[in-house]
Amino acid sequence: MPQFRGGQMCKDYQINGLNWMLRAFQDNRNIVLADEMGLGKTIQTIALLDHLIKICKIRGPFLVIAPLSTLDHWKKVAEEWTYMNVVIYHDRLGQDGRAEIRN
């Protein structure tokens, strides 16, 4: 079972979702996560990206497209659970963050 920053761990059903996403990735299949709110789709997706970095040695960069209202939450969760460098492309301050991404 994967362990994340601060010793955090996914719940069993999130591990099942992560394994499903990993199988889809290995089979080169596109997927969509769409279940009830509050079941951890954000954590499962971040766990997938973390696995790709740590285990598969895929450096990225990775692009997460999400509603503007959830971007700060995605960034916060990714930084709490992993050591990934997370930058919001559509940041409120504008040019500094986007220039960093382009570099």
Residue 10 has pLDDT above 80, yes or no: yes
For 79-97, what is the mean pLDDT? 81
Number of Cβ atoms within 10 Å of the Cβ of 38:
6
pLDDT value at residue 46: 95
- Element (H or E) spanning 90, and its range? none
What are the strands, taking DSSP E only, across the chain?
Answer: none
Percentages of the chain per state (helix, strand, coil), in multiples of 5? 50, 0, 45
pLDDT value at residue 92: 63
Residue 97 has pLDDT above 80, yes or no: no
pTM higher than the cut 0.75: yes
**Which are the contacts of 98, defined by CB distance < 8 A and separation ≥ 6?**
89, 91
What percentage of the chain exceeds 90 in pLDDT? 51
Q: How confident is the model at residue 93 (pLDDT cuts 50, 70, 90)?
A: low
